[in-house]
Amino acid sequence: MTQVLICHVDELPVGERKIVELEGKSIGVFNIEGKYYAASNTCPHRGGPVCTGRVGNELLADFVGVGLRVKEHFGPNLVLACPWHGWEFNMETGVHLGDPQISLPVYTVTVQDKEIFIEI
Ligand code: FES
């Protein structure tokens, strides 16, 4: 594993993302509510730019009875949705929400002296 400098924390404020090219890989680095995440920007489905997609909390639905609408609510897990066909991945683990056999590579992010690094 190699630590690679991405940027100073001031260059990636809360709510922003940065797409970088490292060693031939496109990688998205995110600041979500002060926590940093990094993932491959190549969707395992058909190679779409997954890190340009929507980020939000996982939408969950509870079965409440036959013939009744499911009760929807947002769960604690953050999800990244690919803009091409909507595949969704857990931001923390990269695992696909519908099929745990599929995953998006994710990277460890660290901050040292206000500089953001990822391990690739
Ligand atoms: S390329 Fe990402 S969902 Fe199809």
Residue 67 included in any domain = no
Nearest CA to 43 among 109, 107, 88? 88
Report how far ligand 1's centroid is from the alpha carbon of 44 (Å).
7
Kindly report the length of the chain: 120
**Domain range holding 49?**
3-54+82-119
Q: Is residue 107 part of a domain?
A: yes
Q: State the closest ligand 1 atom to the C-alpha of 86, by its place in the atom list counted from 1.
A: 3
What is the tally of structural domains in the chain?
1
* Strands of the chain, DSSP E: 3-8, 17-22, 25-32, 35-40, 55-62, 71-81, 88-90, 106-107, 109-112, 115-119
Structural domain contains residue 65: no
**CATH code for position 112:** 2.102.10.10
Token output for 46: 């058909």
Does some domain include residue 76?
Answer: no
Establish whether residue 104 lines the binding site of ligand 1, counting it when its CB lies within 6 angstroms of any ligand atom: no
pLDDT in tens, the chain (120 residues): 899 999 999 999 999 999 999 989 999 999 999 999 999 999 999 999 999 999 999 999 999 999 999 999 999 999 999 999 999 999 999 999 999 999 999 999 999 999 999 999
Q: Per the domain annotation, does 113 fall within a domain?
A: yes
Q: Is residue 73 part of a domain?
A: no
Query: pTM for the complete prediction?
Result: 0.91
Q: Residue 75 domain-assigned?
A: no
- With contact defined as beta carbons under 8 Å apart, do 30 and 17 qualify? yes
- Expressed in angstroms, the distance from the first to the final Cα of the chain is 5
* Ligand 1 atom at minimum distance from 87 CA: 3
